[in-house]
Amino acid sequence: MEYNTTRNQLIMKEYGRNIQKMVEYLVTIEDEEERQRNAMAVIELMGTLNPHLRNVEDFRHKLWDHIFNISNFKLDVESPYPKPTIEKLRAKPDPLNYPKKYPRNRHFGKNLELIIDKAVHEDSPEKKEGFVQTIANYMKLAYTNWHKESVHDDAIRAELLAISDGQLDFQPGNASAPASANFSGNANASAGGEQFRSGKRKNFQQNKFKGGSNNKSNNNKHNNKYKNRNK
């Protein structure tokens, strides 16, 4: 009985032991035409055993790369695609260049520093004010997320002045002015609605009173007619 400990290592486990044995047999075939024909048959079998590769773009190219990899790049057949090399497969990627600068206020992140720098160099007063309001709102949100409690506008103003070296001044009153205007507008609208409802109540009471008098007169006429008929 043959155990896996006595066998060679599986190069690509998703294809299994039998595919690897077939590829190892292909390497030993001396006739080029027979080796090419059998290699094509193994490629078709590999595609059948792994149908998920058909959803991958240019899946046949991937199958040919896999068969060369399983043979340890010893298989000598004609491929419709460039043959991969072991140097390219085992080449190490270039190291990534990580940023060497660290933000001064890590709890706000690096992006906030970039926005503050852009706001400081903004020439338009309206855009600069918009930057300040947006930055202050983000600082409130970050503070609430971390501390689970609200923060006063004066604390945000002081911290923004410290971060921007006194170049950005947050004025909470500018953001609250439209809200007060909306509040007064809503109050006027509610007052108008109350006047409209009171007017409807008055009209309803008048109509009800008129309707009641009309009903009484109609009832009197009906009673008199009934009395005359009995006579």
pLDDT at residue 89 in the model: 81
pLDDT at residue 68 in the model: 93
Work out the average pLDDT over 17-23.
93
For residue 38, is pLDDT > 60?
Answer: yes
Nearest in space to 53 (alpha carbons), one of 91, 86, 24, 14:
14
pLDDT at residue 28 in the model: 93
Nearest in space to 71 (alpha carbons), one of 122, 20, 119:
20
**Cα separation of 3 and 38, whole Å?**
27
**Cα separation of 171 and 153, whole Å?**
9
CB 26 within 8 A of CB 75: yes
In this prediction, residue 187 has a pLDDT band, given cuts at 50, 70 and 90, of very low
**Cα separation of 102 and 61, whole Å?**
44
**Cα separation of 39 and 25, whole Å?**
10
**Is 214 or 50 the better-scoring residue by pLDDT?**
50
Site of tokens 């270039």: 94
For 117-133, letters b (16+ CB in 10 Å) and e give eebeebeeeeebbebbe
Q: Which residues contact 69 (CB under 8 A, 6 or more apart)?
A: 11, 12, 84, 89
Work out the average pLDDT over 29-41.
94
Lowest-pLDDT choice from 42-51, 63-72, 114-123, 195-204: 195-204
CB 17 within 8 A of CB 7: yes
Q: Which residues contact 160 (CB under 8 A, 6 or more apart)?
A: 116, 132, 135, 136, 139, 168, 169, 170
Give the model confidence (pLDDT) of 78-121 as tens digits.
Answer: 999 998 888 888 888 888 887 666 667 777 777 888 888 888 88
CB 70 within 8 A of CB 10: no
Q: Which two tokens stand for residue 43?
A: 């490629």
**Is 37 or 170 the better-scoring residue by pLDDT?**
37
pTM over 0.85: no
Instruction: Give the rounded distance of the alpha carbon of 73 from its chain centre.
Output: 43
**Is 206 or 114 the better-scoring residue by pLDDT?**
114
Instruction: Give the rounded distance of the alpha carbon of 179 from its chain centre.
Output: 30
Work out the average pLDDT over 167-176.
72
Q: Which residues contact 132 (CB under 8 A, 6 or more apart)?
A: 119, 160, 168, 169, 170, 171
